[in-house]
Structure 1
Amino acid sequence: MVILEAVRTPFARRNGAYAGTRPDTLLAHTLNGLLQRTGLEARKVEDVVAGCVSQAGEQGANIGRQAVLLAGWPVAVPAVTLNRMCGSAQQAVHFAAQAVAAGDVRYAVGCGVEHMTRVPMFTDLTLGRGNYQGFDMLNPALLALHPLVHQVESAERLAEHWGLSRSELDAYAKESHRRAFEARGLQAELLPTPGVDAEGQAVTLGFDEGVRATIDEARMAALQPALRAPGQGVVTAGNASQISDGAAAVLVADETIARADGFRPKARFLARVVVGSDRVMQLSGVIPATTLALQRAGLAIGDIDWVEINEAFASVVLAWAREFKPDMARVNPWGGAIAHGHPLGATGAGLMAKMLQGLAHTGGEFGLQVMCIGHGMATATIVQRLR
């Protein structure tokens, strides 16, 4: 099974360019953009697998199916929506590829959407039940068995375990913005998307809205810890991913059939994995996920030309780097979620689209995408670019 194309909307800031755009509209726009890039007829898509975390309100009732219908695709094209938290869209791509590998379908789409402005995080937990307070919506029996902690606390514990200082985290965050800003104009995976500017005037967004051209280091250093008391934590809003809105989609196909239909695949899958990990050090799952993916692909970290590791927090990337000691020039070369944002259910497909474009731009062959997931999980994918 191969990837024919992958696209994403530019990611917008919370209350930014997409504030007046529904999430199903964003996803429908992305699905149509995907097919326009390839020329594949919608009727040939045999399933659409969509990732979305907060499945409530405008993102409820199987938003994948709603987007397919809204896009004007034939009613015969089915869709399903899943939630593997931050790894949702990456898992959607995996499930699409697995359906192709099993011979169940010939063309499938793995995609995702999250509109964190219109459907705030935790809406699925709090709808009709007041405000979210810690883990008060979870089963007390679960909490008695597993000492779950907030993801920010987990990011703090990663920093402590791997000896990461506040200055290291902030420096990494600044570099993410620098790389993302320098990459403008190179990111052909971006699908120009209608929105509005700060004055409410119609615009077409062609870049990630959260990327900063310059970073005020003094202002970043003055930010207080996001969860812990002042002076007792290192994780801040400045060195964590931005709350964002966006959508992304990946077209997967049977290689023989796709080539017979005249398509030129961009990449093939070498490994697709998901792992469970420690539920307190929950964000460290990227380490065993990477190890397993490399083993299954028969590769070493030095063989990887482009790494996309989701910047949920700077401490996740730097802890992972402590373990694998990669060439950091190959890790998030065009910046990451600290700069461009993290629309939860869409990021997995969005990073795949960015990685494929990055490999094509640099002439690289192997790409690794890995994402930490709440409650102690991680997804990882290794692809080989086809020349």
Structure 2
Amino acid sequence: MRDAVIVATARTPVGKRNGGLSGVHPVDLGSFALNALAVDPALVDDVIFGCVSQSGEQSWNVGRNVVLAAGWPVTIPGTTLDRQCGSSQQAIHFAAASVVAGHADLIVAGGVEAMSRVPMGSSAGTAQPYGPLVRARFAAEEGFDAEAQIPFSQGVGAEMIASRWGFTRSQLDEYALASHEKAAAASFADEITPVAGVSADEGIRRDTTLAALGALKTPFKQDGVVTAGSASQISDGAAAVAVTTSSFAAEHGLTPLARIHTAVVAADDPVIMLTAPIPATFKALQRSGLSIDDIGVYEVNEAFAPVPLAWLASTGARADRLNPRGGAIALGHPLGATGARLMTSMLHYQRDNGIRYGLQTMCEGGGMANATILELL
């Protein structure tokens, strides 16, 4: 039977908004991730890249363009997909499915987002991407703004989660502070390829305090609990992984690092939007035959602090295994790249700590979530 294994990973640093990577064109940024992979481009059948804001510099199939910018053979195709924040995680899922099915032998999957240069939501322009039928369907739901160009709000969804699970402002601020502290204590040097003089993730605030976080405003709800401090950072970055089969790896001298054990996608209410990692996790566990306790590390994307906290409360997972080196609150969230960045970081953590199974999941616009279980080899 054909399987799907990861034989190489690479990522750029995650640059803060208007920071050290803001001067790098997103196509060039993606090409750095490709060229950092320890894989012969001549073996690559396809490149699948995630990108959310596919406009301006990220338009016209950025996945194909990063291949050309990397100097790889022009015979290597590339494509671009959008499953919102989970785009590059979905790219990895598609790559795994393709090699298992025999449609390809080796695919590079990843993503890029240069949010300093192509602002979030810019792909919509002045259009209303949700038509009359969607607006009519959800018009009566709390949190849905039928008059807005974009009637679904992630920030409002985060406030709704905090209310439903009963999280306080202090709980969210404490979680955010812990994210920065864990990231500051960790080392990511062995997984990062320096770009434009930037060699480390720029978003980590080593001097932040609960007092500083407590002084921030709550922009999504008057007297709310979610702030910029308990939300992921607007960022720039790219990441990529090489996916093949065990047999192809053996034939070409490649070392499998991890097996893509289970890959699923799920969806939930698009108004609250951010709860789908919970059913996605249960779906992945059911299909894998594993229990939550079998998983040694969980990477649950920190789009907003209520997301991993609600996931933790709902799954019964161990808190000490959740985002052990911090998450997007500290490291940043370059939308289309984050899925592959998380997988790169999780795999390195599994390897360094001898952890057999790791689970990654992340909330996505539209109320969706991918979940992936990696098995260390």
TM over 0.5: yes
Shift of 1:313: 0.4
Per the alignment, residue 9 of structure 1 pairs with: 12
Q: TM-score, normalised by structure 1?
A: 0.92
Contact 2:177 2:209 in 1 (8 A): no
Deviation of 1:187 (Å) = 4.3
Question: Is the 1:169–1:315 Cα contact (8 Å) retained in structure 2?
Answer: yes
Q: Distance in 2 between matches of 1:41 and 1:7?
A: 14
Which residue matches 1:170? 173
- Match 1:192 to one of 191, 194, 197: 194
1:245-260 aligned within 5 A: 245-260=236-251
1:30 pairs with 2:22:
no
- Aligned partners of 2:132, 2:216: CA distance in 1, in Å? 34
Partner of 1:199: none
**How far 1:257 moved relative to its partner?**
1.2
- The aligned counterpart of 2:149 is none
Residue number in structure 2 paired with 1:325: 316
Residue correspondence of structure 1 range 33-52 to structure 2 within 5 A:
33-34=36-37, 38=38, 40-52=39-51
Displacement after TM superposition at 1:279 (Å): 1.5
Instruction: Confirm or deny that 1:207 pairs with 2:200.
Output: yes
So what's the TM-score if we normalise by structure 2? 0.94
Equivalent residue, structure 2, for 1:145: 137
**Mind listing any 5+ residue stretches in structure 1 that lack a counterpart?**
195-203
Contact 1:58 / 1:119 at 8 angstroms: preserved in 2?
Answer: yes
Q: Which moved more, 1:334-343 or 1:213-222?
A: 213-222
**Aligned-partner residue type, residue 33 of structure 1:** A
Query: Contact 1:11/1:343 (CA < 8 Å) preserved in 2?
Result: yes
Contact 2:21–2:198 (8 Å) recurs in 1: no
Q: Which residue of structure 2 lines up, in the alignment, with residue 106 of structure 1?
A: 105
> Structure 1 residue 8: deviation in Å?
1.0
Matches within 5 A, 1:217-296: 217-229=210-222, 231=223, 233-296=224-287
The alignment status of 1:379 with 2:370, answered yes or no, reads: yes
Aligned equivalent of 1:119:
118
**Which residue matches 2:69?**
70
Report the number of matched residues. Answer: 363
Could you tell me which amino acid in structure 2 is paired with residue 207 of structure 1? A
How far residue 145 of structure 1 moved from its aligned partner, in angstroms, is 1.3
Uncovered stretches (5+) of structure 2, i.e. residues with no partner: 145-151
Contact 1:173 1:239 in 2 (8 A): yes
Which of 151, 160, 164 aligns to 2:163? It is 160
Q: CA deviation at 1:24?
A: 0.3
For 1:308 and 1:50, the matched residues in 2 are separated by 21
Match of 2:276, SS? helix
- Rounded to whole Å, the distance in 2 between the matches of 1:364 and 1:273 is 21
- Cα offset, 1:374, TM superposition: 1.1
Letter in 2 for 1:265: P
Aligned partner of 2:103: which letter?
D
Identity %: 48
- 1:43/1:76 contact within 8 Å kept: no
Compute the displacement of 1:228 (Å).
1.1
* C-alpha displacement of 1:216: 2.6
Contact 2:113 2:337 in 1 (8 A): yes
The match for 2:148 is none
CA distance in 2, matches of 1:346, 1:7: 11
Q: Is the 1:164–1:315 Cα contact (8 Å) retained in structure 2?
A: yes
CA distance in 1: counterparts of 2:291 and 2:167, whole angstroms? 25
Q: 2:334 aligns to what SS in structure 1?
A: coil
Q: 1:287 to 1:305 in 2, by over 3 A?
A: same
Does the CA contact (< 8 Å) of 2:230 and 2:329 recur in 1?
A: yes
Aligned to 1:20: 23
Q: Which amino acid aligns with 2:216?
A: L
| Residue identity in the other structure for 2:205 | R
Q: Is the 8 A contact 1:178 1:214 kept in 2?
A: no
Bigger mean CA offset, 71-80 vs 209-218: 209-218
| Alignment partners' CA distance in 2, 1:273 and 1:367 | 14
Q: Which amino acid in 2 is paired with 1:160? A: S
> 1:53 is matched with which residue?
52
- Per-residue deviation, residues 249-283 of structure 1 (Å, max 9, x unmatched): 01001111111211110000111001111122211
Contact 1:270 1:296 in 2 (8 A): no
Find the partner of 2:337 among 320, 335, 346: 346
SS at match of 1:113: strand
- For 1:270 and 1:43, the matched residues in 2 are separated by 27
Secondary structure at the counterpart of residue 249 of structure 1: strand
Contact 1:279-1:376 at 8 Å conserved across structures:
yes
C-alpha RMSD over aligned residues: 1.1
Segment of structure 1 superposing worse, 206-215 or 345-354: 206-215
Letter of the aligned partner of 2:72 in structure 1? W
Take 2:251 and 2:44, find their aligned partners in 1: how far apart are those partners? Answer: 16
What SS does the corresponding residue of 1:284 show, helix, strand or coil?
Answer: coil
Q: In the alignment, residue 214 of structure 2 is paired with which amino acid?
A: A
Amino acid at match of 1:10: P
Q: CA deviation at 1:146?
A: 2.7
Distance 1:72 1:99 in 2: 24
